Structure 1
Amino acid sequence: MTGETTIVGAGPAGLACAIALARAGRSVVVREWHDRVGARFHNDYQGLENWSRDEDVLHELKQAGIDTDFEKVAVSAGTAFDAKGRRYGLRSEQPLYYLVRRGSGQGTLDRALLEQAIALGVEVRFDDRVREAREADILATGPRTADAIAAGYVFETDMAEGSWLALDDDLAPSGYAYLLVYGGRGTVASCMFRGFREEAQHVARTVKFFRDRAGLVMSNPKTFGGYGNFRFPYTAQQGGRPVIGEQGGFQDPLAGFGMLYALRSGILAAQSVITGARYSDLWQQSLGPLMKAGAVNRYLFNLGGDALRCLALSRLEHRDARIGLQRAYRPSLISALLFPFIKTRIGVSLEDPSCSHENCDCVWCRSVAQGNAPTCC
């Protein structure tokens, strides 16, 4: 690619790509069909994971030219619960993840990336829907379907800061429920991989659970919802164009921690433009092993049920949790043997039969009905 580079989508993947290209002296235009950055999000807390590699994620981003001046909280301890309500204390010497806010407000990850890009001379066009892939050089329009949804509340609170996780299918089928509280703000949600049609019941049970177990107190609660798409791409290219972020399937299918995968894929796409290297080679070398491990982890998570989840939590409690998670994402003989089978089934195994898109009011169906799901490229 020469001359001006056009990126479709102003999410973390698209903006990270734009920043990396602009730092290399390239002229970049980002076209976003929403009227603002972070339109899918509601000032909710999310985690920027820090366990899949030895290097701290903030250092990794800085090395790639991404400033980390967004609001963030290093989290190295938390509490987890199994399906029987047993409590596990998880700790690590280094941060497990960095808590960040998503949305269009000041201090959010999305807003910080936007401001960086503009400061470097990137032209960002909002309310600019792209209808054809040929209008772009790099595609980053976000998830095309929902393999998992998260629904719950953002709120104000005077309760103690902390993070809590629950692995209980009654709260979040095949997923997890979570409560994150920092700086007088909180997010409580059910992240479910099936049972979308019963979204409201899962959220209600989640709120009650954390009220009973963590002393949840909410003031001025506001509902929010989101969705994620997981798949293992063959080339992550469309018509020779790099496809990055969730549009390319770049997420961890176990936990749905996709921000780092999105940022990395955007940086790799920029490198392919700058150096002429094949994008498919770059992501397969850098992200492929992590995504394979995530797919195997998801398969075992579903297969092993509560017994395996209890065992995993117990092991994490008795060691540095970051190191324990890191080991789970390293290439192994088990993942090499299982992945070829899992790869053929990952789309089927994550498909939720309860969500038929008929008389369903889950967050994904609401987004489709309101015209808020991507429809181009």
Structure 2
Amino acid sequence: MKIKENSKTHIVGAGIAGMTAAINLSKFGKSVIIYEKNDSIGASRHGDLEGIENWILSKNLPESIAECGIDFNGIPKFPIFEFFVHLNGVKPVKIKSQEPFFYIVKRGTSSDSFDNYLAEICNSLNVKFLFNQSYDISKADINATGACRAAAYIRGAQIVTDLPNQVHLLLGKEFAPSGYAYLIINDGIGTMATAFKKSARANDPLNLCIQYFKTLGFDFKVNSTFANRGSFNLPNLWDIKNPIKIGEAGGYQDYLFGFGMRIAMHSGLSAAYKLSGKNFQSKIINRELNIKRRISFANRLLFENLSINNTKYLVNRFEKSKEPLNILREAYDWNWKKIIKSIKLTNQYAIRFS
């Protein structure tokens, strides 16, 4: 499907994926309108800190961001070269890398958020935003509306603290049933969150995370709490219905640890290529994204079935490695056994085809 010359391109959703699509469509000479149900850019977020990973896709992070038409150096961000892994009852382990594992960005409405950085690029390219407005999805060119069916639930807290900058990953059912939790602190503010599968347990995993860090002597104040959900879909190769679904609306997400921003951005780039008649470039990008999605699902299956001893073994392997980032990159390499396993076991998990 190619947009006719001089016609408007309609995108529903002003998130990371939608704005990336708009940026590239504008650079390809298209006139773009983005419809956003909220009253401003980033209004669906909570000022939380989030990571853009440096291991899932084949190209390194700066190169792949540039491929999306975005100046990597201009993004308000800070690199993470080390973090601590926590297992209940075990001393925290520090994992260090010579390359950044990921870059932390702020999400939300503030002027230094990643959302507003992308919006500024859109404005410079004359992309039109229509806030507090809906649009008939069936008539849109791109659906970038965000999470659909929930595959994971997120409970989080924004904190203020005098603690130095640091990142922590918490593993174990105490912190996040079939999931993970984390704490990110930067310049006196922080995000603590737990991403988990729905559980009948009475205890709130977020409160357990807060209590855990308090017992370690961490001094902080909870400023606000938030809740969200994550959506992940496996690709349906025979689905060619319009509009093009990108970002979480299309299931473009990492199912292992939820690092979805870079995948979402490239789904927006793929859509821009397709709507501009550049089908070959679109297919190349989508092929890699679909492979990585399936591998991330297989990785999730393996993660959920790890025993505590196997988890300890993997954490120790990361700790001892001189290049732990390469372990993560290898985990996302093509592997037929992983792909086949993900196909066979799809129906046992909260996953649907996009």
TM (norm. structure 1) is 0.86
Q: CA deviation at 1:258?
A: 1.2
Of 82-91 and 2-11, the range deviating more from structure 2: 82-91
Is residue 139 of structure 1 aligned with residue 143 of structure 2? Answer: yes
Letter in 2 for 1:207: I
Is residue 63 of structure 1 aligned with residue 78 of structure 2? Answer: no
CA–CA distance in structure 2, aligned partners of residues 196 and 28 of structure 1: 45
CA contact (8 A) 1:76 1:95 kept: yes
> What is the CA RMSD across the aligned residues, in angstroms?
2.1
| Aligned equivalent of 2:325 | 322
CA contact (8 A) 1:242 1:279 kept: no
Task: Work out which of the residue numbers 228, 231, 251 in structure 1 matches 2:230.
Answer: 228
Taking structure 1 as reference, are residues 196 and 316 closer, same or farther at Cα in structure 2, changes over 3 Å only? farther
CA contact (8 A) 2:254 2:296 kept: yes
CA deviations over 1:117-155 (Å, ceiling 9, x no partner): 01111001101112x323211111111122112212112
Taking structure 1 as reference, are residues 236 and 204 closer, same or farther at Cα in structure 2, changes over 3 Å only? farther
Is residue 285 of structure 1 aligned with residue 290 of structure 2? Answer: no
| Aligned equivalent of 1:36 | 40
Q: CA deviation at 1:67?
A: 2.6
CA contact (8 A) 2:270 2:286 kept: no
Which runs of no fewer than 5 residues in structure 1 stay unpaired?
351-377
| Aligned equivalent of 2:345 | 342
Is residue 109 of structure 1 aligned with residue 114 of structure 2? Answer: yes
CA contact (8 A) 2:150 2:350 kept: no
| Aligned equivalent of 1:269 | 271
CA–CA distance in structure 2, aligned partners of residues 35 and 305 of structure 1: 46
CA–CA distance in structure 1, aligned partners of residues 349 and 75 of structure 2: 34
CA contact (8 A) 1:231 1:346 kept: no
Map 1:84-233 onto structure 2 (within 5 A): 84-130=89-135, 132-195=136-199, 198=202, 201-213=204-216, 215-219=217-221, 221-233=223-235
- Give 3-state SS (helix, strand or coil) of 2:306's partner: helix
- Give 3-state SS (helix, strand or coil) of 1:222's partner: strand
Q: CA deviation at 1:284?
A: 4.0
Taking structure 1 as reference, are residues 232 and 279 closer, same or farther at Cα in structure 2, changes over 3 Å only? farther
- Give 3-state SS (helix, strand or coil) of 2:268's partner: helix
Letter in 2 for 1:203: L
Taking structure 1 as reference, are residues 54 and 249 closer, same or farther at Cα in structure 2, changes over 3 Å only? closer
| Aligned equivalent of 1:332 | 335
- Give 3-state SS (helix, strand or coil) of 1:149's partner: strand
Q: CA deviation at 1:235?
A: 3.9
Q: CA deviation at 1:220?
A: 5.6
| Aligned equivalent of 1:354 | none
TM (norm. structure 2) is 0.91
Which runs of no fewer than 5 residues in structure 2 stay unpaired?
none
Q: CA deviation at 1:87?
A: 2.0
| Aligned equivalent of 1:360 | none
CA contact (8 A) 1:178 1:189 kept: yes
CA contact (8 A) 2:271 2:282 kept: no
CA contact (8 A) 2:23 2:121 kept: yes
CA–CA distance in structure 1, aligned partners of residues 130 and 187 of structure 2: 33
CA deviations over 1:192-221 (Å, ceiling 9, x no partner): 1232774x62111101112233x4222362
| Aligned equivalent of 1:373 | none
Letter in 2 for 1:242: I
Aligned residues: 346
Taking structure 1 as reference, are residues 307 and 194 closer, same or farther at Cα in structure 2, changes over 3 Å only? farther
CA–CA distance in structure 1, aligned partners of residues 316 and 336 of structure 2: 23
CA–CA distance in structure 2, aligned partners of residues 346 and 279 of structure 1: 32
Letter in 1 for 2:325: R
CA–CA distance in structure 2, aligned partners of residues 58 and 283 of structure 1: 16
Letter in 2 for 1:194: K
CA–CA distance in structure 2, aligned partners of residues 290 and 246 of structure 1: 15
